[in-house]
Amino acid sequence: MNENNKKILIGGLVVLVVVVLLAFYFGKSNEVKNQAGGGAASGTVVTGGKAGEPVKSATRQEVGSGVVVPDASASSTVPANVAKPAIVTQAAPGSTSKFRSFSLSVAGGKFVPETVIVNAGDTVHLDITASDKDYDFYQPDYGLSTSLPKGVKKVVEFQATCVNPLLQIK
pLDDT higher than 50, residue 40: no
Q: Which DSSP letter does residue 83 get?
A: P
Q: Which helix (H) or strand (E) holds 8?
A: helix 3-29
How high is the mean pLDDT of the chain?
75
Report the candidate in 94, 92, 89, 112 with the shortest Cα–Cα distance to residue 41.
Answer: 112
Name the amino acid, one letter, at 69.
V
pLDDT score of 3: 82
- The residue ranges of every structural domain in the chain are 1-31, 60-169
Q: Is residue 165 within 8 Å of residue 117, measured between CB atoms? A: no
DSSP one-letter string for 54-78: PPB-SSEEE--TTPPPP-SSTT---
Q: pLDDT grade, residue 135 (50/70/90)?
A: very high
Q: Are 151 and 130 in contact (CB under 8 A)?
A: yes
| CATH architecture type of domain 60-169 | Sandwich (2.60)
What value does the mean pLDDT take over residues 55-68?
68
Residue 55: closest CA among 136, 137, 141: 141
pLDDT, tens only, 14-34: 777 777 776 766 654 444 343
What pLDDT is stored for residue 72 in this prediction?
A: 84
- Report d(CA 72, CA 89) in Å as an integer: 9
